[in-house]
């Protein structure tokens, strides 16, 4: 039961449980009772929450329960001023969900070469790549040279700049 408060609150802080991550009847009831209130959700890191859904539901913010600290006062003031506050984890996860996969075939890279590109982008050395992919060190060196030729670079440093420009995220 949600209490009838007078005056109505500006912000309603809702802690959602794992059983009903979208708030079930709680959010509609809050909206009905306090239509002008900003809703700020507290969720667990393991809950299935999607930023797009929260934006559609006009949720003012979402924070991770386990990471609530002294900054909560600042968050409440920010929301009260009409701004949104979403935890970094939720935003990063949402961006990763909507990221367009890199089309490695436009550079003429094979699937195996693309695997090497990803391992190189993650910072692995040629020896580590050889170990990971069960190849000889010389095979990796040869493939790295072919990759450099296909993408138009001539060094590991130039390769790393290329990966940043292409927005290739390491595995």
Is residue 80 domain-shared with residue 111, that is, in the same domain?
no
**pLDDT computed for residue 170 by the predictor:** 65
**Are the C-beta atoms of residues 30 and 12 closer than 8 Å to each other?**
yes
Vertex 146, ends 141 and 156: CA angle to 5°? Answer: 60
Look at residues 73, 98, 123 and tell me which one is the last residue of a structural domain: 98
Is residue 20 domain-shared with residue 90, that is, in the same domain?
yes
73: CATH: 3.40.50.2300
Give 74's strand partners.
none
**Which residue did the predictor score with more confidence, 50 or 152?**
152
Which of 20-24, 48-52, 99-103 has the lowest average pLDDT? 20-24
Identify whether 160 is part of a domain: yes
SS (H, E, C) 82-137: CCCEECHHHHHHHHHHHCCCCCHHHHCCCHHHHHHHHHHHCCCCHHHHHHHHCCCH
Is residue 79 domain-shared with residue 127, that is, in the same domain?
no
Is residue 31 domain-shared with residue 86, that is, in the same domain?
yes
- The structure tokens listed for 166 are 């292409």
């Amino acid at each position: 039961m949600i209490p009838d408060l007078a005056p109505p609150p500006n912000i309603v802080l809702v802690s959602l449980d794992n059983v009903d991550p979208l708030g079930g009847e709680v959010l509609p009831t809050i909206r009905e009772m306090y239509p002008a209130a900003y809703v700020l959700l507290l969720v667990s890191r393991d809950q299935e929450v999607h930023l797009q859904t929260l934006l559609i539901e006009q949720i003012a913010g979402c924070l991770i329960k386990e990471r609530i600290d002294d900054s909560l006062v600042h968050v409440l003031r920010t929301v009260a001023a009409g701004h949104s506050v979403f935890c970094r984890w939720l935003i990063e996860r949402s961006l990763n969900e909507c990221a367009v996969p890199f089309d490695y075939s436009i550079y003429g890279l094979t699937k195996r070469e693309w695997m090497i590109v990803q391992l190189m982008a993650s910072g692995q050395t040629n020896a580590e790549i050889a170990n990971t992919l069960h190849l000889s060190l010389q095979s990796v060196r040869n493939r790295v040279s072919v990759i450099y030729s296909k993408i138009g670079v001539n060094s590991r440093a130039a390769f790393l700049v290329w990966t940043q420009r292409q927005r290739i995220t390491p595995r």
